[in-house]
Amino acid sequence: MLNKLIAAGRGLIISNPSAKGGGGKTTIELLLAQALAGLGCRASLFDCDMTSPMVGAYKNMQVSSADKNLQGILSGRFQPRDIFVRRGGIDYVLGAEANNIQSADNNAAYLNPLLAAVSDVSVNYQYTFLDLSAGNYLYTRRPALISDVLLPVIPAINEQVLSNTFVQLKTIFSVYDRTGALEFFPEIILVVNKNRRTLFSAGLTAGEVSRRFEEGARVNGWYEKMERNHLLAGAVDLPYEKKLDLFLQTDAAPRKFRRPLERLAEILLGIPAPAITAQERYARLIVRDTRTESPARRSRGGGR
């Protein structure tokens, strides 16, 4: 069954909008991409974290020149195919801190080259991962808008983290609601990372996070709109592993991670091919930008 699903190809873009930094979202995406590549899937991963890019450090990879990374795509100088670093059957675009993070957060056009590039290359991969910055910012939300699957990682620590993640996902939801595109809203897979190294006390399981997320969505009046589209594709617990950094260097998942990773892979493999392509998602964003642009901004630079 798995071989049939893999052969069919999915063409899914997966991003991890998470409110809490340091909760394990990069680690889990790296391990999941490795697990899927190990099953024979074609996978790529873009380090889109503009505040703390860690993929290159975790995987001990470097680029050949200063701008053959995310910044090269943002500036329009390079396409992903020109700067991919291949390792373990996965094509990586390594990250770079934005030259002006405030510009990235206030200017949608700053991210358009990235979104267009990801939309174009995603057709060549069954799974394209976007490792996003933590926090509820435009440079986190906007890549999520071209994604087919959202993979928020929630450390099992406290109620505030769950609340922040819910607010972030609700913001993404609201964009789809305003543009009348709820039928194309991404699937959501909740991941709870039980990280004992946190200073907070461990708490919620994946099942409890899922239940409270659904409850909060209903209270806020938007879960019912999404219920027919399987808002929650699943919820998975990830364990703690003391020597995890060493495993990331060797492309081998720790033994205790194997079953949770298999569970995540099973959920992804079970998600049907998207009803709308990444290029169509991107086109909708461009149309929305044009419609919401103010008259003063549209006339800027046009002369008299």
Residue 74 falls inside a structural domain: yes
Residue 303 falls inside a structural domain: no
Task: Provide the pLDDT for residue 204.
Answer: 74
Nearest to 32 by CA among 271, 248, 240: 248
Round to whole Å and give the CA distance between 72 and 69: 5
Task: Provide the pLDDT for residue 167.
Answer: 84
Average pLDDT of the chain?
Answer: 79
Residue 274 falls inside a structural domain: yes
Residue 304 falls inside a structural domain: no
Which CATH number covers residue 194? 3.40.50.300
Task: Provide the pLDDT for residue 180.
Answer: 77
Residue 177 falls inside a structural domain: yes
Burial class of residue 174 (count of CB atoms within 10 Å of its CB; 0-12, 13-18, 19+):
exposed
Residue 299 falls inside a structural domain: no
Q: Where in 124-265 does DSSP place strands (E)?
A: 127-132, 149-150, 153-155, 187-193, 232-238
Instruction: Please name the amino acid found at residue 301.
Output: G
Neighbours of 39 (CB within 10 A): 16
Residue 22 falls inside a structural domain: yes
Are 63 and 185 a contacting pair, CB within 8 Å? no
Are 37 and 87 a contacting pair, CB within 8 Å? no
Q: How many domains are contained in the chain?
A: 1
Nearest to 124 by CA among 199, 191, 44: 44
Q: What DSSP state is assigned to residue 220? A: T
pLDDT at 126 over 50: yes
pLDDT digits (tens, 9 = 90+) for 4-52: 444 445 689 999 988 777 778 899 999 999 999 998 999 999 999 888 8
Task: Provide the pLDDT for residue 97.
Answer: 76
The pair of structure tokens assigned to 194 is 């039980």
**Count of helices and strands (H, E) across the chain:** 15, 9
Residue 133 structural domain: 7-293
Nearest to 239 by CA among 229, 231, 251, 247: 247
Residue 151 falls inside a structural domain: yes
pLDDT digits (tens, 9 = 90+) for 276-297: 888 888 887 777 666 654 444 3
Which residues pair with residue 13 across a beta bridge?
128
Which residues pair with residue 87 across a beta bridge?
90
Task: Provide the pLDDT for residue 303.
Answer: 32
Cα Rg of the chain, angstroms: 19
pLDDT at 304 over 50: no
